[in-house]
Amino acid sequence: MAQKVQSTLGRSLDEFAADRGFHSNEDEAGLEALGIKHVAIPKPGKCSAKRQEIEGASWFKRLRRWRSGGEATISLLKRKYGLNRCLFKGSNGTAAWVGISVFTHNVDKLVALMT
């Protein structure tokens, strides 16, 4: 996934964050080999002292909070704006449905700021 994002952006990623369920030593090493400076994927289970130091670093905590915020936004879009079920067909339809949901969310935020 990181390679696809890098090819789309045309540059290397600086940071990468994912859920604890995606952790593997091989994937983490592969992401670092791509030149990603900060890889924040919490390790499940008991961690070594070195791993606790990494996961306690300010950049790691910041990326973990950022990912959690993204998950909360996705949950809001699903609950309030109908993103849980796409009524359009195919990947183009899904892209349109997501776009409409995000647009509606942004308009809702704008109205709240104006009132």
Residues 94, 76 within the same domain: no
pLDDT band at 78 (very low <50, low <70, confident <90, very high): confident
Residues 44, 67 within the same domain: yes
SS3 for 54? helix
Q: Is residue 113 scored above 90 in pLDDT?
A: yes
pLDDT at residue 37 in the model: 94
Residues 18, 67 within the same domain: yes
pLDDT in tens, 31-63: 999 999 999 999 999 999 999 999 999 999 999
* Neighbour-count burial for 62-88, b at 16+ CB within 10 Å, e otherwise: ebbeebeeeeeeeeebeeebebeeeee
Q: Is residue 17 scored above 90 in pLDDT?
A: yes
Residue 39 CB burial class (10 angstroms; 0-12, 13-18, ≥19): buried
Residue 64 in contact with residue 56, Cβ under 8 Å? no
- The pTM of this model reads 0.71
Question: Could you tell me the residue range of the domain that residue 37 belongs to?
Answer: 1-81
Residue 87 vs residue 39, higher pLDDT: 39
Q: What is the domain count for the chain?
A: 2
